[in-house]
Amino acid sequence: MSNDDVATQLRSLGFRSSLAVLRSLIEHLTHGRLGPVQICEKLVETERRERETKNLAARMRIATLGKFTTIDRFDWNHPKAIDRDLYENLYSTLDFIERGENVLFRGPSGIGKTNLAQNLGLAAVQRGYTVRFSSLAAVLTDLLRRESLPQLESALRHRYLAPRLLIIDEIGYLPCDRRAADLLYNIVTRRHESRSLVITTNLGFKQWGTVFPGAACVAALVDRFAQHCHVFDIDAESWRQKTEKPTATKAKAKS
């Protein structure tokens, strides 16, 4: 049997490596005069790497993390107050995911809350966890357009309940109605103590009622989310305001 035939047979058995890669590998192994066990080990190693690469790419697509600055470039000197030790522990161990614990990033707009949340998501994806990132507005838009209860339940289960880590960004920036509050409550309650949830917000827990005016479930929602939660209260000046100041000052000087 030729090398091309062997490569084709391996593909038919489910090998994800391309024909070109398999043919090149088989040729290399043949010329190397390796034994049967060594050849099998090399084939398994190559296939494992290929599957890990493709699985990582698939998890990244599902996570929808978007563009962000990686944590190695985050300026920890910018915030006046932030628990860096706690963050680095969560980031490096990801134990909070195994324990089904939550994380809250709280502070004014433009201080890096979303960036820190996205980096937790990236670390989780790289460690083999399923992750989904979305703004609260996008979550609600997605769910509220479902025309039937089965469609709604399917979207809830697959997109917002199944991921081991769900990141909901920007709670507090837009007011929501009671139905929206009920949907968020549904997500928080069904993930409680089994699936981790990360939330970014500009509001304290006592102010969440202003986002969902008239919703009776807000207190219970907060209670469940906060029960096992690592809270980061970030005190910092907005990055956007900081970078805009020189331009604004320059423009004022010209006028």
| DSSP, residue by residue, 226-237 | HHTEEEEE-B--
- Whether residue 178 is found in the same domain as residue 237: yes
pLDDT band for position 10 (cuts 50, 70, 90): confident
Residue 168 phi, psi dihedral angles, 5° rounding: -110, 120
- Whether residue 172 is found in the same domain as residue 234: yes
Q: Beta strands 102-106 and 229-233: pairing type?
A: parallel
Encode pLDDT of 146-192 as tens digits: 999 999 999 999 999 999 999 999 999 888 999 999 999 999 999 99
Is 251 among the domain residues? no
Residue 255 has pLDDT above 60, yes or no: no
- Whether residue 75 is found in the same domain as residue 45: no
Q: Beta strands 102-106 and 131-135: pairing type?
A: unpaired
User: For position 108, what pLDDT does the model report?
Assistant: 93
More confident position, 47 or 241: 47
- Print the domain residue range for 93: 71-241
Is 247 among the domain residues? no
**Average pLDDT across the chain, whole number:** 90
Q: How many domains does the chain have?
A: 2
Is 250 among the domain residues? no
On whether the CB atoms of residues 155 and 146 are closer than 8 A, the answer is: yes
Residue 254 has pLDDT above 50, yes or no: no
Is 121 among the domain residues? yes
User: For position 167, what pLDDT does the model report?
Assistant: 98
- Whether residue 46 is found in the same domain as residue 112: no
The last residue of one of the domains, among 62, 88, 111, is 62
More confident position, 225 or 240: 225
pLDDT band for position 125 (cuts 50, 70, 90): very high
Is 180 among the domain residues? yes
Is 41 among the domain residues? yes
User: For position 243, what pLDDT does the model report?
Assistant: 59
- Whether residue 90 is found in the same domain as residue 216: yes
- Whether residue 49 is found in the same domain as residue 75: no
- Whether residue 16 is found in the same domain as residue 126: no
- Identify residue 130 by its one-letter amino acid code: T
On whether the CB atoms of residues 186 and 172 are closer than 8 A, the answer is: no
Encode pLDDT of 96-118 as tens digits: 999 999 999 999 999 999 999 99
User: For position 250, what pLDDT does the model report?
Assistant: 45
Q: Beta strands 196-201 and 165-171: pairing type?
A: parallel
Which H helix or E strand runs over 145?
Answer: none
- Whether residue 42 is found in the same domain as residue 167: no
Look up residue 73 and give its DSSP letter: G
Is 248 among the domain residues? no
Picking from 26-30, 119-123, 152-156, which range would have the lowest pLDDT averaged per residue? 26-30
pTM of the model: 0.83
- Whether residue 57 is found in the same domain as residue 80: no
Residue labelled with tokens 């006592």: 206
- Whether residue 116 is found in the same domain as residue 13: no
Encode pLDDT of 30-64 as tens digits: 788 788 888 888 888 988 888 888 999 999 999 99
Phi-psi category of residue 112: left, alpha or beta, with phi > 0 → left and psi -120 to 50 → alpha: left
CA-CA distance, 206 to 33, in Å (whole number)?
A: 71
